[in-house]
Structure 1
Amino acid sequence: MRYKVYDEEDKKERTLEECVTPLEVGSVRRVQVKKGDTREVHHFRVLEELKA
């Protein structure tokens, strides 16, 4: 599944591709983001589910 999410730490919209966990629109989820060699925890607000 694909979702459009808002990254609250980076203050921008992102698209989650090939997400295996069903997410509820309107919920806020903690997600580990890989940046270079490090991982950061970001909070994603789920905006909508994108159709294939």
Structure 2
Amino acid sequence: MLRVILITMASVTGGAVIGGATIVGLVNAQTAPPDQSPASVSNPTLDYGSTQ
């Protein structure tokens, strides 16, 4: 029984670490200075609505 509890706690902790790292990476990428951010308002990578 104790083994199941420890494995469950390890799984939850591992999932939280992976999820937290993903969120931190996403927020850093979206709020980085323009020279480090992959997005650019003046030069969009996806041109929505263009027919040419």
TM-score by length of 1: 0.17
Q: Which has the higher contact order (CA 8 A, sep 6+)?
A: 1
TM-score by length of 2: 0.17
Q: Rg: which structure is higher?
A: 2
